[in-house]
Amino acid sequence: MIKQDTIQTILEVARIEDVVGDFVNLRKRGVNLIGLCPFHNEKTPSFTVSPAKGIYKCFGCGKAGNSVGFIMEHEHYSYPEALKYLAKKYTIDIDEEQLTAEEQDQMDSRESMFALNSFVSGYFQDYLLDHEEGKSVGLSYLKERDFLESTIKKFQLGFAPSRDLYSDYALKNGYKKDLLLKTGLSIDKGDRLVDRFRGRVIFPIHNLTGRIIGFGGRVLTSEKTVAKYLNSPESDIYNKSKSLYGIFFARNEILKKDNCYLVEGYTDVISLHQAGIENVVASSGTSLTADQIKIIKRFTPNITILYDGDTAGIKASFRGIDMILEQGMNVKIVLFPDGEDPDSFARSHTSSELESFVEKEAMDFISFKTRLLMDETQGDPVARATLIKEIVQTISQIPDAIIRTVYIKECSAVMDLPEQTLMNALNKLLRDKFRKQNFQKTDEEPIIIEETYESERQTELDPFDISEQENEIIRLLLLYGPEKIKVTETVEDEMGEMVDIEQEVGVAEFILESLDYDNVVFENKTYNRIIKEIKDKISTGDIPDESYFVRHPEKEISTSVIDLIAEPYELSHNWVRHKIYVKKEDDDLHQTLVTTLNTFRIKLITRTRRDITNRLKDATDEGEISVLMQQFYELKKVAREIDQELKRPFDY
């Protein structure tokens, strides 16, 4: 259990722009920051971070929260896990007690899997450095590759014994059999568990926050029947197509350099890191996936792919690169000399030589692909025609029309073809792509399908719906609750005459007393909980503002509050500079509150009168009818008075 004062310290220290900035490439827009949403695929930024309010909000998919909420949503952490992550980030000490067996059983499955992976990783590291087999086999191999001890410890490299040991060790330390099977660390042989990784150098695979989600193991024998590399199977915490090796160690450098180097294997990443190039990740031998591209895009729109010179391998990756271009990203290619890969080149050259080579040899992908295929189709007109179609197909993946046009010009010059010929072919592909995306073919006429967010869909308005009025009252209560307003009250003086007295009243008290006077209970249950908490705080002399609820431990409350106070737009500084006055709601806060509360009352009266009308239709008792009619006209009178106060025509 984390102490409340520690939680408060974490919430106060954690800066939303720092926390989100570890995962999303943000740029300044006015007083806020904006970037591409990490929770849904978008090409136009709608993800806004407000440092002043300590919140984030995506106005595309609707995701919103505070620093803790972002980590919970992004990393699928529980509330305590997110707090611990932030505490570690800001070096805040948290005293934790040793978990009992009962508490261990109560931990959720994902957290238990993370804990087991961390435990077994520690075992692998100890075995590599402290046991004879680990040192003679695993450590020798790593040192042959010139890996320094500091590098080995940084990447938490280890060694799995050649005989079954770690499964039993984990069981003896309280980890359950089903957990070992879920993570894929062990294989069930019926009467016993056997280690999945045996006699292999172990490369832990980390997620964006540095937690171990799986392992890669390299065998050091030359047996042809044994796979050279073995990875953890898919699990609740490890999805190979959504993971990038080295992303945890690279993310800050990727942001700083605004470029991500993409390599194939574990040792490529490690060797480049050791050489001083840290903005590098690996797809771990798999074809690049859309999810992996999205991870990189959070940090930079620029990718440089480092190849080892194998032409067949390069051509096999073309589809993945087309996917990168389709995301609107910029792709460059670096081709290492024959017989060299990033790992070997980094080990045989100095850091400055490596950086100079990469910078000098980097070529944009389309130019690279055009030249590579042109060399292969010399003297073959049919193959050359196929090449042209393939290049145009690649250019068609680029969403930006200007960039497409530039590439058409360059390819026209390289291939010695009229620019218009390539442009015609491109336009045909774009038309076909448009039809495929926007038309559903039927036996009759095609039907246009338009994709839109839920909030943009036209829905029939319910004249008796009070949700908007509830939203507005709670929003004003949160934003202005601690402030004071001047109200005029008519009272009888000592002489028996009615006089106006002006006095200061707290906004929170003004709103809450008004709601209590009308015996209002909101339909939104979360809002009722917020109101109750504010009342409880007021009774102790404290009036909580929006920041209190933004940091609220109950996610349902904090998310609701953030949805209310987040603003998609902000006033341009040019309006102030040019002295253009725009009326704001707090210019006359008292009038804003009166108007909002009265509008809410009108809605409630309208609903009650509707209910009375429906009851009158079925009523047969004259006494009941008389009472209902009296209530109906009394409500009509109140509604008329409110409308007069609102200075609008009465139409009830």
Q: Output the pLDDT for position 311.
A: 67
Report the alpha-carbon distance of residue 448 to residue 330 in Å, rounded: 31
Mean pLDDT for the chain overall: 82
The single-letter code of the amino acid at 602 is I
Q: 527-533 — which CB contacts under 8 Å span 24+ positions?
A: 527/470, 527/474, 527/560, 529/557, 530/474, 530/477, 530/478, 530/557, 530/560, 530/561, 531/474, 531/477
Q: Output the pLDDT for position 455.
A: 38
Residue 318: name the closest of 375, 393, 268 by CA.
393
Residue 443 has pLDDT above 50, yes or no: no
> Which residue do the tokens 């006033």 mark?
571
pTM: 0.62
Binned at pLDDT 50, 70 and 90, residue 108 comes out as: low
The single-letter code of the amino acid at 452 is T
Binned at pLDDT 50, 70 and 90, residue 227 comes out as: confident
- Partners of 492 in beta bridges: 498
Q: Which residue has the higher pLDDT, 519 or 651?
A: 519
CB distance 56 to 44 below 8 Å:
no
Q: Sign of dihedral through CA atoms 636, 637, 640, 645? A: negative
Q: Output the pLDDT for position 119.
A: 95
Structural domains of the chain sorted by starting position, each given as residue range(s) with its CATH number in brackets: 4-89 (3.90.580.10), 109-238 (3.90.980.10), 251-436 (3.40.1360.10), 462-652 (no CATH)
3-state secondary structure of 25: coil
> Which residue do the tokens 């009759």 mark?
444
Q: Output the pLDDT for position 350.
A: 87
* Mean pLDDT (whole number) for 263-288: 88
Q: Which residue has the higher pLDDT, 143 or 105?
A: 143
Binned at pLDDT 50, 70 and 90, residue 142 comes out as: very high
Binned at pLDDT 50, 70 and 90, residue 166 comes out as: very high
CB distance 247 to 281 below 8 Å:
yes
Q: Output the pLDDT for position 600.
A: 87
- Highest average pLDDT, of 48-52, 151-155, 325-329, 520-524, comes from 151-155
For residue 328, the tally of other CB atoms under 10 A from its CB is: 16
**pLDDT tens digits for range 555-612:** 788 888 888 888 765 555 555 555 555 566 777 888 888 888 888 888 888 888 888 8
CB distance 518 to 533 below 8 Å:
no
Report the alpha-carbon distance of residue 124 to residue 203 in Å, rounded: 10
Q: Output the pLDDT for position 214.
A: 95
* Mean pLDDT (whole number) for 71-90: 84
Q: 564-570 — which CB contacts under 8 Å span 24+ positions?
A: 564/471, 564/474, 564/475, 564/478, 565/53, 565/55, 565/475, 565/478, 565/479, 566/48, 566/50, 566/53, 566/55, 566/57, 566/59, 566/64, 567/50, 568/46, 568/48, 568/57, 568/59, 570/30, 570/31, 570/32
Binned at pLDDT 50, 70 and 90, residue 447 comes out as: very low
**pLDDT tens digits for range 285-342:** 667 888 888 888 878 889 998 987 666 667 777 778 888 888 888 889 888 888 888 8
